[in-house]
Amino acid sequence: MPREPEMNKEHDRKDVPVSSKHSCVEKHEDMWVKQGKFDWKNNSEFITKKSNQKINKIHEKSKINFHRKVVPLHDNSELHGDLKELPSNVTDNTFDFEEKDAPGASVSIGFQAVSEHKEPSLENVFPSYSKSESRKYGCQSSSKLYLNENKLDENDKPDIEHVFNKTEESFRNDREKLLKIEDPVHSFRSIELKESDSALLRGKIKEMENKVNWLQAELLKTREAKSQLKLQNVEWERQLCSMRFTLEQETKKKRNAYILYEKTKDDLKRKEKQYNEQVYLKQQLEITARALECKVKSIWNKANQSKQGKVNKYIGKQAFLEERVCELESENMLLRQQLEAAQNEAKSKNTILNIPEPFLDHMGKLEAMSRRVLMLEEGNKELIDESRCLKDRLYQYVMDRAEMENADLPAKVESTSSVLLHLSAETQLFLKELFMKELQKKSDTLEEEKKQLEEEVVHLRRHLEMNAMERSPVEQYKRETEERARRDVVEKLKELSQVMRYKQESEEQARQDIAEKLEEISQVLQVKH
């Protein structure tokens, strides 16, 4: 077959690895498919034409042989009844053989009918003739038919008709040649041989169909391989895009780290400004504290002067009250003496039984006077107590005022010192909180970046280990990206460590400065006290 070397070529193509020649396969696959389809169509058309030609030849020869044998049988009146004893399948199948258009199907039906009714049926039809005569006439008829068939194969249709006419005349003239009815058996055998040839052709056609199916399967396999190659290319492109995206992310992270570094610098500068402002405020507070101390001293002096004036006033009032008390006491003594004298007189006059009315009035007056004296004594005592209370209150007021004025100064100093301490503590806490927050944020960002980079590195390692033999440039690119990422991470860590050290040093310096200033303020306050 002409297709076998192409099949071997296709097997050779199949043995070639697909991954190494995917670019060549993409170019030559379409041409190979088109060429295979074209060859298959040509071969199938060629085989069908040959098979149709052979079947047509067989059909024509079988028609000729049937006409040779059947026409004299119809003309012969003695054998007409004997032919009726033949099975109906032979005659029906022969005529069906002539009438059908499809040559392959008609020949197969005629072959089956003839193969079922061979020599025994012919012996049953013509039992009166001897075997020797049948052999003689059979040889003669077979030789004549063989010559006629060769002539038919060599000559054209007019020669065939001429030979056919001669045979008809010979059959009509000679009844003894009716034994040539055995020749259809031989013709049927030849038809069987031709049928076997047609079966072989059909087998070849089936083989060709199988080959076509195999080629179609190969085409499907190549298409699947092509689709796999396309998917692999898409995967590689996706991986390249992911690598590019990771590179872009790393560059963005580097830029973000640089921006953070600049921001930290700005924050440090801003904190330095705030610290300088706080120092300036502390200096201003110290100045105001000194001014307040001066004011307190002046107020203390004024308070002392005013206290002395008030004390002198209270002393004068107290002397006046004492004199008044003495006068009241002398008056009380006189009134008591008068009462005693009046009582004595009343006792002496109690002996008198009949007391006149004016004397009784005088006695009532004396009793009222005595009551008034008692009330005056009680009021005098109350005034004395009030004077003593006023003295005590005046003394307590003076002492409290002095204590309050004296206590305000250290309270103010303590308040200023406490404010300064509170401000320093707040500044320290604020600085610590800011420092811890920045450190935590940076540590979190670094940990996240580190985890992401580790995951990306692990993913890239796995992916590149799987496709190491096929993608050596991708491995090189991966190594370069890993080295770049490691360098970037190391540089970022170094920068962050430097920033952290700088911050720690600045915070330590700020703490030392604040502690020194607080010590100075405490010493100044102690000296003032």
Enumerate the domain spans of the chain: 23-236, 237-528
Helix (H, G, I), strand (E, B) or coil at 193: helix
Residue type, position 527, single letter: V
In this predicted structure, the answer to whether residue 471 has a pLDDT above a threshold of 60 is no
Burial 470-498, CB ≥16 within 10 A → b, else e: ebeebbebbeebbeebeebbeebeeebee
For all residues of the chain together, what is the average pLDDT? 65
In this predicted structure, the answer to whether residue 50 has a pLDDT above a threshold of 60 is yes
Q: Count how many Cα atoms sit within 13 Å of the Cα of residue 275 in the half-sphere of its side chain.
A: 19
> Residue 336 contacts by C-beta under 8 Å, 6 or more apart in sequence?
373
CA distance 474 to 232: 14
CA distance 38 to 26: 19
User: In the chain, how long is the greatest CA-to-CA distance?
Assistant: 231
User: Residue 11: its pLDDT value, please?
Assistant: 42
* CA distances in angstroms from 521 to 185, 284, 410, 529, listed in the order given: 145, 12, 14, 12
Q: Count how many Cα atoms sit within 13 Å of the Cα of residue 177 in the half-sphere of its side chain.
A: 18
User: Residue 436: its pLDDT value, please?
Assistant: 75
In this predicted structure, the answer to whether residue 152 has a pLDDT above a threshold of 50 is no
| Residue in 164, 140, 143 with CA at minimum distance from that of residue 152 | 164
DSSP 134: H
Contact 482, 246 (CB under 8 A): no
User: Residue 358: its pLDDT value, please?
Assistant: 55
Q: Count how many Cα atoms sit within 13 Å of the Cα of residue 117 in the half-sphere of its side chain.
A: 21
Question: By mean pLDDT, which of 141-145, 195-199, 302-306, 313-317 is the weakest?
Answer: 141-145
Residue type, position 302, single letter: K
**How many other CB atoms are there within 10 angstroms of residue 33's CB atom?**
15
Q: Exposed/middle/buried for 289, CB within 10 Å: 0-12, 13-18, 19+?
A: buried
* CA distances in angstroms from 138 to 31, 169, 187, 219, 502, listed in the order given: 61, 18, 12, 58, 128
CA 35 from centre of chain? 47
**Can you tell me the mean pLDDT for 221-239?**
87
In this predicted structure, the answer to whether residue 114 has a pLDDT above a threshold of 70 is no
What residue has token string 């991954």? 19
